[in-house]
Amino acid sequence: MPQLLGVFTQPQHIADAARRLRDRGFTDIETFSPAPFAELDDAVDPKPSGVRAWTLIGGLTGVVTGYAMTLWMANNWQIMLGGKPFSSIPPYTIIAFELTILFGGLMTLFGLLAVGRLPSFRMHKAYNARFSAEDFGLVVDCRDRDVAEIDGLMREHHATEVSVVQA
């Protein structure tokens, strides 16, 4: 099963090409981009990134941990001070706030690793250092009989070169 690699120089062109290919039913698409371009990422997969759920879960865990830890510790060994309550919510809010940020931030990092499938121990066969320079790459898995069509479609969208990825 051949893989076709098209090289582009502008994000809009590769985004249009990717969208056209998806519409034609070629869903096995991979792109390489030297910088983030939302239009390209959305063309390949319009769904919002799953990282958001990780941040939310981390933040909620943090705020619960912050209050639970401080309240539990204050009541585990109670210190009587002038008849005041053993626990005091306002200062504990500071701890809860910091842990919200801490856990939320760390979970966001883990979310990046999980959702972005990092670390990736194998480099894509079509990856080349030019894609960390200025070029964009679009890789499509296709059947032999579709090669000519995809080649034409990519060139129509200003692909500067199209080649078959050597297995």
161: helix, coil or strand?
strand
Helix (H) or strand (E) holding 141: strand 136-141
Minimal distance, residue 79 CB to other proteins, in Å: 8
Q: Of 103 and 151, which CB lies nearer to other proteins in the complex structure? A: 103
Report in angstroms the alpha-carbon separations of 99 from 16, 80, 105: 43, 27, 9
Distances (CA, A) of 40 to 2, 12, 36, 135, 136: 23, 7, 8, 13, 10
What is the smallest separation between the CB atom of 1 and other proteins, expressed in angstroms? 6
Distance CA 128, CA 142 (A): 21
Query: Which residues lie across from 140 on neighbouring strands?
Result: 4, 29
Pairing of strands 161-164, 136-141: unpaired
Residue among 88 and 163 whose Cβ is closer to other proteins: 88
Q: Tell me the closest approach of the beta carbon of residue 151 to other proteins, in angstroms.
A: 18
Of 141, 156, 133, nearest to 9 by C-alpha is 133
CB of 149 to other proteins, least distance (A): 18
Instruction: Calculate the alpha carbon distances from 132 to 34, 51, 110, 118, 127 in Å.
Output: 5, 24, 24, 17, 9
Nearer to other proteins, 30 or 155 (CB): 30
CB of 20 to other proteins, least distance (A): 15
Residue number, 45 or 149, with CB nearest to other proteins: 45
Closer of 12 and 155 to other proteins (Cβ): 12
